[in-house]
Structure 1
Amino acid sequence: MHTHLTMAGTALKLQDGSIDAVDLVSTAIRKSRAARGVFISFIEWAHDDAVKSAHRRRSGAPLGRLDGIPFAVKDMIDVAGSRTTAGSITRIDSRPASRNAAVITAMRAIGMIPVGKTNLSEFAFSGLGLNPHFGTPTADFHAAAPRAPGGSSSGSAIAVQRGLVTAAIGTDTAGSIRVPAAFNGLVGFRASTGRYDMDGVHPLAVTLDSLGPLTRTVEDCVLLDSAMRGRANPDVCATPLEQVRFVVDSSVLEDPTLQPDVARNVRSVVTRLRERGARVEERPVEAFKRTRQAIATQGWLGAIEAWSLLQQVVEGERGDQIDRRVRNRLLAAKGIDRHAEARIRTLRAELMLNMLHELGDAVLVTPAVKHVAPSLAALEADDSLFAATNLETLSLTMPGSLLDMPGVAMPSGVDREGLPTSVLFSVQQGHDDRLLCACLAVESTLMSRPTE
């Protein structure tokens, strides 16, 4: 895997004048146009924004440290003058957005520049990231064969993994930021649903939809999170590790379906945290287990809401143009008992309360995904394998979504083939700042040399 400049590193170079916004944006767009399947469209006014940013820098009046930084936008989020396709050719003739989504407005207010709209699983309804309409983006790993990019925010993740941009934003309903981060050795932050203004973000499942950054580091993630809320400087900083309590869900690590290298690397991270003075408990987390069981037996709330939203498209005259794998999954949701939604919502409230009592102010530690990125060709060739793999891929991120737990997926190492593995840190709903503070401390620990 390549070493690319971080967003924080790029900001320093902008500040000292060794690069400028016009070169950054021009290079990002040129490289992105050549990268198959990563972007669906490009922002016409990005160059003009870059010229204005460069002028502000020369005049000594930048809008903040991120002024001039280009970023990628998942094509579920409106950017003025650009069509929002949601990764579907059923929307290819839709009108371009007349205004920017609230998060885009907030980021532009501190000088950041959207350069393009990234590819995704159609309608954001898959954890694997395949798209037959616009091509499936793939990482430039030195692997024997292409791997699934993870979804649904596939293009946003690959744009960062390939170094086309230093930062991207995505949406996450069931794992759509955390999974592609995990598959591609990135940091992905799924925020609590109330953290960002969702105006101009096309919905999939309104109860569960969230936004978040995809970056190379937690530091960059914190910077981007701040920018998405219109703040030039973050108001979070690393918490001393000895003040953080971690709870490792031992029942997840003992799951026989977990790939051994994934489990081994999570345990390695936990060992490092203990060595640096963190308080770590390892025990089964009953609320997490019950949430996984509820999703498996009662049905997925996100599927019920997605069907309500997309039924007319699926059953309409263009329904047969939808990716058959996505269409099949949506049609399966049609058959969920109409009374199930009320039962699930009641159970959800109960489980959120259970998690609050069981976890308290601790940080929950699990793998982000049970396995490394699977073979792309195998998934493309076998729809039943795709469906089964998709459920397995999302199985450790869906509980956090149902309970509205903010979560940060971070690289935990690589498997024996050199493919990335990931660890997921999650906390109670609304405690996003506390999570980011803890993850900054984790990052500094994991980047330092282990104790001899």
Structure 2
Amino acid sequence: MMALESTIADAAAALSSGAASAKSLVETAIARMDDPSGEGKRTFIRRNDDRARGLASASDAIRAAGHSRSPIEGLPISVKDLFDLKGETTLAGSIALKGAAPAARDAAVIRRLIAAGAVITGTTNMSEFAFSGLGLNPHYDTPRNPFDRATGRIPGGSSSGAAISVSDGMAVAAIGTDTGGSIRIPPALCGLTGFKPTASRIDREGAIPLSTTLDSIGPIARSVACCAILDAIMAGENPQDLPQALPIRGLRLAVPQTVVLSDMDAHVAKAFEAAVSRLSSAGAVIVDLPLEEFAEIASIYSGGTIVAAEAYHWHRELIEKAGDRYDQRVRQRIMTGKAQSASGYLSLIEARANWKRRVERQIAGFDALIMPTVPTIAPEIEPLVRDEARFFAVNGLMLRNPSVINFLDGCALSVPCHEPGTAPVGLMIAGAAFADRHVLAAGLAIESALSRD
């Protein structure tokens, strides 16, 4: 059976040549999920193997008739546990929603994926209700990071199972959500690629929200090209009309100097410095940009956050009925939104709009911002489970850099930039709102320049 640790292009080529079938790929994925020595049990929350086999059979029949609906025709794709699948109860990594009515139809993004030929393998584990950047889940356990699995390190969150489904060959790619980094933190810690689009780019109907202002839907996969294909499909664009790599020579890249370079561990600092050096040697123009506005976010959020206010609005009735069934660390963060006033929330929205305008003016002359996706390698799970103060401190550190781009309403990639065989490190490549195709084009150039093949 063909291994699923491949790019979309390679897997699609195997299907086109007859070296593999959609049925054989889905059986490989199911075997990986069922392997008692693997992470399948911790990675998937909902599975419907019959549905996956049915979608695979339909795809094989379409291909046998001489057709292919898209580059993901017949490929196993996992989706985060907060997306509606018709006839199933959407759980969002929680037990508080058990017994709720099943979804009447698939989420909008699921409909687009299936129409493009995706074989949905199941829904992946996540931080409960997507409210953490670590990926810990006390209800369904926490999937282990593929690096140093014996020690037991976090996968990153909230799209934890999404990343592990790809790293461990249970899916060719995964679909997650990102409110403060959840499509970039897990790939950074697991050696994969993730793309967070502009929040409004992809229809969020049928996805349980964390923040209706900040939530984005995007892919986790093995390359920038994979992410570009999935992004186009989910955005309703032509997946054959993809961004092309920009020339690396003359590419203008800004390195923010405020906040995002602090608290790096030695390994991340070395990998980031080496990546910047390689890009410069390849001809990219690297500019250190103060961007002191990044330090203002903490004061803007001093009286409450957009996420907490919007999360409390969605959760308030469920917490009254089933609050004792929540991960109490998640419930604690949601409840901070209860004290926020309407005027305070509106002041936040105004302050963010003003901040965005000032930052956008400063970055307008650059092709992208680059910075470490997260400042440390994946920490161990057990100390975070035992120590609440440590949990919240590390959670804040993981979310810090990615969440700046969510606050900007921007788009961003995380691509690997570490030496092979060492702890994974992600390089974030970011731009302003609606610069998605340009950031992907810059990402293709940067990925190539950093390649060690």
Q: TM-score, normalised by structure 1?
A: 0.94
Residue number in structure 1 paired with 2:398 = 393
**Cα 1:340–1:414 shift into 2, 3 Å:** farther
1:411 alignment partner AA: P
2:99 alignment partner AA: D
The structural deviation recorded for 1:448 is 4.8
Supply the distance in 2 between the matched residues of 1:10 and 1:361 (Cα, whole angstroms): 38
Please state if 1:405 is matched with 2:410. Answer: yes
The structural deviation recorded for 1:219 is 1.4
2:104 alignment partner AA: S
The structural deviation recorded for 1:339 is 3.3
1:278 alignment partner AA: A
Residues 15 and 65, structure 1, Cα contact 8 Å, conserved in 2: no
**Cα 1:268–1:191 shift into 2, 3 Å:** same
Residue number in structure 1 paired with 2:256 = 249
Supply the distance in 2 between the matched residues of 1:13 and 1:304 (Cα, whole angstroms): 48
**Cα 1:299–1:367 shift into 2, 3 Å:** farther
Supply the distance in 2 between the matched residues of 1:327 and 1:414 (Cα, whole angstroms): 39
Residue number in structure 2 paired with 1:156 = 162
Residue number in structure 2 paired with 1:76 = 82
Per-residue deviation, residues 10-36 of structure 1 (Å, max 9, x unmatched) = 011011110000011122123124412
- SS of the aligned residue for 2:78 comes to strand
Supply the distance in 2 between the matched residues of 1:309 and 1:64 (Cα, whole angstroms): 36
Among residues 71, 96, 100, which one is paired with 1:94 in the alignment? 100
The structural deviation recorded for 1:133 is 0.9
Q: Which runs of 5+ in 1 are unaligned?
A: none
Residue number in structure 1 paired with 2:115 = 109
Residue number in structure 2 paired with 1:66 = 72
Paired-residue identity, %: 36
Supply the distance in 1 between the matched residues of 2:418 and 2:333 (Cα, whole angstroms): 32
Among residues 367, 374, 380, which one is paired with 1:369 in the alignment? 374
- SS of the aligned residue for 2:175 comes to strand
Residue number in structure 2 paired with 1:45 = 51
Residues 258 and 294, structure 2, Cα contact 8 Å, conserved in 1: no
2:431 alignment partner AA: V
Supply the distance in 2 between the matched residues of 1:289 and 1:210 (Cα, whole angstroms): 23
**Cα 1:252–1:73 shift into 2, 3 Å:** same
- SS of the aligned residue for 1:170 comes to strand
Supply the distance in 1 between the matched residues of 2:251 and 2:290 (Cα, whole angstroms): 19
Please state if 1:302 is matched with 2:307. Answer: yes
Residue number in structure 2 paired with 1:342 = 346
1:91 alignment partner AA: L
Q: TM-score, normalised by structure 2?
A: 0.93
Residue number in structure 2 paired with 1:196 = 202
Q: Which moved more, 1:187-196 or 1:260-269?
A: 260-269
Residues 14 and 20, structure 2, Cα contact 8 Å, conserved in 1: yes
Please state if 1:218 is matched with 2:224. Answer: yes
Please state if 1:357 is matched with 2:361. Answer: yes
The structural deviation recorded for 1:103 is 1.3
Per-residue deviation, residues 347-371 of structure 1 (Å, max 9, x unmatched) = 1001110111111042111111121
Residues 287 and 358, structure 1, Cα contact 8 Å, conserved in 2: no
Supply the distance in 2 between the matched residues of 1:4 and 1:408 (Cα, whole angstroms): 20
Please state if 1:266 is matched with 2:269. Answer: no
**Cα 1:56–1:254 shift into 2, 3 Å:** closer
Supply the distance in 1 between the matched residues of 2:135 and 2:279 (Cα, whole angstroms): 32
The structural deviation recorded for 1:336 is 3.9
2:246 alignment partner AA: T
- How many aligned positions are there? 444
2:90 alignment partner AA: T
- SS of the aligned residue for 1:396 comes to helix
The structural deviation recorded for 1:300 is 2.1
Residues 251 and 283, structure 2, Cα contact 8 Å, conserved in 1: no
Q: Which moved more, 1:346-355 or 1:259-268?
A: 259-268
- SS of the aligned residue for 2:154 comes to coil
The structural deviation recorded for 1:80 is 1.8
**Cα 1:299–1:366 shift into 2, 3 Å:** farther
Residue number in structure 2 paired with 1:26 = 27
- SS of the aligned residue for 1:174 comes to coil
Runs of 4+ with deviation above 6 angstroms? none
- SS of the aligned residue for 2:425 comes to strand
**Cα 1:50–1:414 shift into 2, 3 Å:** same
The structural deviation recorded for 1:247 is 0.2
Among residues 121, 129, 145, which one is paired with 2:127 in the alignment? 121
**Cα 1:378–1:234 shift into 2, 3 Å:** farther
Q: Which runs of 5+ in 2 are unaligned?
A: none
Residues 176 and 220, structure 2, Cα contact 8 Å, conserved in 1: yes
Supply the distance in 2 between the matched residues of 1:252 and 1:214 (Cα, whole angstroms): 26
- SS of the aligned residue for 2:67 comes to coil
The structural deviation recorded for 1:250 is 2.6
After TM superposition, list the pairs within 5 Å mapping 1:424-439 onto structure 2.
424-439=428-443
Residue number in structure 1 paired with 2:179 = 173
1:394 alignment partner AA: L
**Cα 1:234–1:157 shift into 2, 3 Å:** farther
The structural deviation recorded for 1:254 is 4.8
Supply the distance in 2 between the matched residues of 1:107 and 1:161 (Cα, whole angstroms): 21
